Amino acid sequence: MNTEKIRKDFPVLSRVMNKKTPVYLDSACMSLKPKQVLETMNAYYTDYSACAGRSNHKLGVEATENYEKARKEIAKFISAKPEEIIFTKNTTEGINLVSHAVEFNGKDTVVTSDREHNSNLIPWQMLDKKGVKHRVVKSNPDETFNLDALQESVGNSTKLVSVVHVSNIDGYEIRGWSAELCRRDRPCSGLQVFGKNRNEQY
């Protein structure tokens, strides 16, 4: 990995502060935008700033074409279908949409970890009003992710599993937990917020 090449994609990292270029470690709060994103946003606001998907004039058509092109490119990148891609403002909005879109009842269980951002805790805690049980998987004593505890927490009543991949608390990365869980046992019949197994649909 060429870190210097990557740094050049982020204009703010070329600034000199206290006679040094910065190292930015606050992406859990606000991620930096690469120049490709800034250039594309600038092109939109400068050249064809219009509503995508609703206007029939030339600027609107161009906005729609670029919007749908982005959807197709993202779908290809993650091996999905374009119709499976939904744009949201951020992860917080996405999780809230899922929490309101899925039909939960008093027999259902939601599973998360103890390393979650509030955005991935509060929506599931709010489901307590519907009688939905919220199971929180505790980390190991050495602060590593406890896959055994996750496996024990997932059962027939599990409607949804939503576990962070990189914790905003300490930067700990939980690699491949969903794939490993499926290898150990069976594909989870509940919704996986950040992915899907081969036998289930979003």
* pTM, two decimal places: 0.73
> What domains sit in the chain, N to C, each tagged with a CATH number?
3-84 (no CATH), 91-192 (3.40.640.10)
Q: pLDDT tens for residues 77-109?
A: 999 999 999 999 888 899 999 999 999 988 999
pLDDT in tens, 21-58: 999 988 877 889 999 999 999 999 999 999 999 999 99
Dist CA 62 CA 52 (whole Å) = 8
Q: What count of other Cβ atoms lies within 10 Å of the Cβ of residue 190?
A: 22
For the record, the structure tokens of 179 come out as 């794939």
CB atoms within 10 A of CB 127: 21
